[in-house]
Structure 1
Amino acid sequence: MDCTINAAGAKAYTWLKNNLEVKQAFPTYKIRVTEKKPTSNDPNVLWTSLEIRNVTECDSATYYCKVDNVGKIVQGGGTILTVTRVKEKVKCSINSVLIGVSAAVIALLCISLIVVSLLLQQRKKVCIALQRQFVAYITEKSTESLPLKTKGRHKRREESASSSGQAGKKKKRKVKELPTSSDYVQGARP
């Protein structure tokens, strides 16, 4: 904003925002506001300007240049500044693109780990089933090659006798032969 004053004599000026000095109206005055020093080749003319950087909606107001010309205060009609927010196209910064790519890679790795773990579980189940089939097959083949065991009391007696050793064997009783009538005849005296 520019301010030009045509008046003779010493001049002091102040910028106002809605009747409040700009230095008081802007909390970040030194960062955002620049007041150009008065310049002019003509001693009767004062020219100055006010520059506001990074304007926001809060900067909307009427700005005045108030001049004190040897006790006589002069001010113009002011400049109305209206700031409205304009929707900007969202630009993806490189950081947000990298974050998105990283998230996609991490998600892909997680899905891959889940798939691999499911496949390993299925493989484990198949291995267990094959082991069971193998054990059943070996058991069947081994029973076919063994002689059949006889069932009954005699077999059990033989097993218990053989398992207990010599001491456990029962002695077979000899059956005494009874003398026959011919034995009596032969042993007679003449």
Structure 2
Amino acid sequence: MRCKVCDAGARLIIKEKCTYTKNTVCGCAPGDFCRQSGLDCEMCSRSTVCLPGSRVKIPGTEFLDNVCEVCPDGTFSATNMSHTCQPWTKCEEEGMTELKAGTATSDAVCGQRGLSPAVIALIIVLALVPAAAGAVYFLCWREKRKCGLASAQDTGDELNGEARTRKKGTDTTLPVQETTINSGISTLPGI
């Protein structure tokens, strides 16, 4: 009998060569599986490739296709035919900040922990408020009357100045009549 020919168009390869006592046994190349079970394969199909974002749940065999499973939330696989899904890196546990969240095909991206924009803004405001208050106080101290503020010492000096003015005799005072001791002699004419 003539030896069987393994049809390359059916993706078949020679698994066992033909001998004087045994016919050729056809099979599938690596990465393919036979669509029917039995000793001799008649047609092969390409095995399913589990893509990034999934894992190989059940590896294919000579007669079974690969079974893939999508990576559960919080895990990823970055290569074809990965057998496991890796958990995302937890940046906070590593003392870092998450710069980019993890996906089904990539890990979370972590960076050195820095100050958030809100914290930086708060620090700037807290630094500027005392500086602005100090500048206003300095200007008011220099130009007391413009700010409507006067120190207690300045108010006391003004009061002391008014008291000095009163001592100098600018206040109106009632006249005092001078008198002499009465000796019984009248100094007025006709008395």
- TM-score past 0.5 threshold: no
Bigger radius of gyration: 1
TM-score range, shorter chain: 0.3 to 0.5
Length-normalised TM-score, structure 1: 0.36
Q: Which structure carries more helix by proportion?
A: 1
Length-normalised TM-score, structure 2: 0.36
Which structure has more relative contact order (CA 8 Å, sep 6+)? It is 1
